[in-house]
Structure 1
Amino acid sequence: MATVVVIGSLVGGTGVAHAGATEIPKGFLLTERAATAGPIVEDEEWWEIGNSLSRQLAFNPCRTKAKPRDGRVAMRTITYSTSAPSGSGEQLVLYRSAKSAQAAFRKLRADLARCPRQAVAKGGTGSRFGYVGKPLRVGDEALSVAGHFYKRGKREREPAELEVVARRGAALFIYSDVGNGPAAGRKIVNQAKKMTKKVCDLPGVCG
C-alpha cells in the first residue's frame, strides 16, 4: 500500500502579538467583492459568505465536529461552488494572539499527520481519500496540501483537492480549490501570498 508522507511546515513567528482587530472589515477578503456581487450564471454557480466563529476550519482532515475553542476572535469564510461540480474557498481567522494562531496551525498540521486518509464512497467502490502535505514559504509558516483518491492503495495521478494553509502573526488563512486541476495550485498560492501582506493592515495582527 502506498504511504502518504506528511512533511512538517516551516516554523517561525512564535512571539505573542495581541490582535487589536476583533472583526474583519467588510470587503476585506480577496474574493469578497465577487461573492457579494452574486452568481454570474444563475443556477450554475453559488457563493456563500459566513462569519460564524463556531465553524470548522475550511481544511479539516480528521472531519472534526467538536465546537472549536482555540482563541479565535473573528472569522470569515467564503465558498464558491458550481454545478460542474467544482469550487473554491477562502477563509480568514483572527486569533487573540500569535501564540494562539500558532497553536491552531500546529494542531491542524498534527491532524494532517494523524488522519492522512479517509474512507469514501466513489462509484460504489472501496476507494479512500488521502492528503499529502509539504512546507510552503508563505508568511510565518504554511502548508501546501494535495488531496487524492486512492484505489487498492494506488493514488490517482491528478489531485481532486488543493489547499494552502498559512499563518501570519495572529491570523490563519486557508485557500482551497476542488475539481479545477493542478493548475489551480499556483492560483491559491498567489492568493495566500497576497493575504500575507494584506492581513498586516489589521491592527495588532502582525505585531
Structure 2
Amino acid sequence: MATVLVIGSLMGGTSAAHAGTTEIPKGFLLTERAAAAGPVIADEEWWEISNSLSRQLALNPCRTKGKPRDGRVAMRTITYSNSAPSGGGEQLVLYRSTRSTQAAFRKLRADLARCPRRATTKSGSGFGYVGKPLRVGDEALSVAGHFHKRGKRDREPAELGIVARRGAALFVYTDVGNGLGAGRKIVNQAKKMTKKVCGLPRVCG
C-alpha cells in the first residue's frame, strides 16, 4: 500500500475559475433524490444530507481532524448505509478558484502516499488505502481501501472510492462493503458529475 502516486492534470489548465458566489442547487447531486425520499425499508436503511463546510473529504487517508480551511465555498455530502452492512456516499465541494481545488486534490494525493497504512492494533492489523490515476475530469484518482494484517492486505477491498476534479469543483464517490463490482458504478457516477458540474456558474469557465 506504500505506492507513491505522481499524477498530472489530464486536461491541463490552471486558470482561476472563481466560484465565490456559487451555490449547489437543491437536488443537484446524483443520489440526492433518493436521499431526500428517505429509506425504502425503515430501520434498515439510513440517509444523511449535509451542507456543512467543516466536514473532511469522504476519503481521508490520514484521518485528519479539525475544520478544513482550503478555500471551499459550498459543499454537500450525502451518505448512505444499511444493515447489510454496506453503504456509500457522494460529496461535491466547490472552491473559490481552480487553484484552490488543485491544491486540495494535491493534498489528498499526498496523504495517500504519506498514510498508506494505519495500524489499529498492537499486532499491526489495520486499514489503509492505495490509489491510482483515473481518466475522469481534469484529474482523478481511483482509491481502494483494504484491511491488512502483519504486512499483508486482504485481496478484496473493503472500500472503493473515486475522487475527481473538474475546474473549481472536487467530487468524491465511495462504496463500502459491495466489493469490486461496485467500482464501475462509482466511476460512472464521477463521469456524470464531470459533465453536470460545468452547468454551475464559474466552475468550469
- CA deviations on 1:129-172 (whole Å, 9 max, x unpaired) are 12110000000000000011111111111000001000000000
Q: Report the residue type matching 2:8 in the other structure.
A: L
Q: How far apart in 2 are the matches of 1:89 and 1:21?
A: 25
Matches within 5 A, 1:163-202: 163-202=161-200
Q: Unaligned 5+ residue runs, structure 1?
A: none
1:126 Cα deviation after fit: 4.2
Q: How far apart in 2 are the matches of 1:96 and 1:33?
A: 27
1:22 Cα deviation after fit: 2.4
Matches within 5 A, 1:51-66: 51-66=51-66
Sequence identity percentage:
81
Q: Cα RMSD over matched residues?
A: 1.4
1:20 Cα deviation after fit: 5.6
Q: How far apart in 2 are the matches of 1:20 and 1:72?
A: 9
- CA deviations on 1:31-80 (whole Å, 9 max, x unpaired) are 00000000001110100000000111111111010210000000000000
Residues 63 and 100 of structure 1, relative CA distance in 2, 3 Å threshold: same
Match in the other structure for 2:118: 118
Match in the other structure for 2:32: 32
1:13 Cα deviation after fit: 3.2
Match in the other structure for 2:146: 148
1:14 Cα deviation after fit: 1.8
TM-score by length of 1: 0.94
Q: Unaligned 5+ residue runs, structure 2?
A: none
Q: Report the residue type matching 2:22 in the other structure.
A: T
Match in the other structure for 1:134: 132
Across the two proteins, how many residue pairs are aligned to each other? 203
Q: Report the residue type matching 1:173 in the other structure.
A: F
Q: Does 1:79 align with 2:83?
A: no
Contact preservation (8 Å) 1:20, 1:203: no
Residues 30 and 21 of structure 1, relative CA distance in 2, 3 Å threshold: farther
- CA deviations on 1:149-204 (whole Å, 9 max, x unpaired) are 11111111100000100000000000000000001011000000000000000001
Where in structure 1 do 4 or more consecutive aligned residues deviate above 3 Å? none
Q: Report the residue type matching 2:168 in the other structure.
A: A
Q: How far apart in 1 are the matches of 2:123 and 2:49?
A: 34
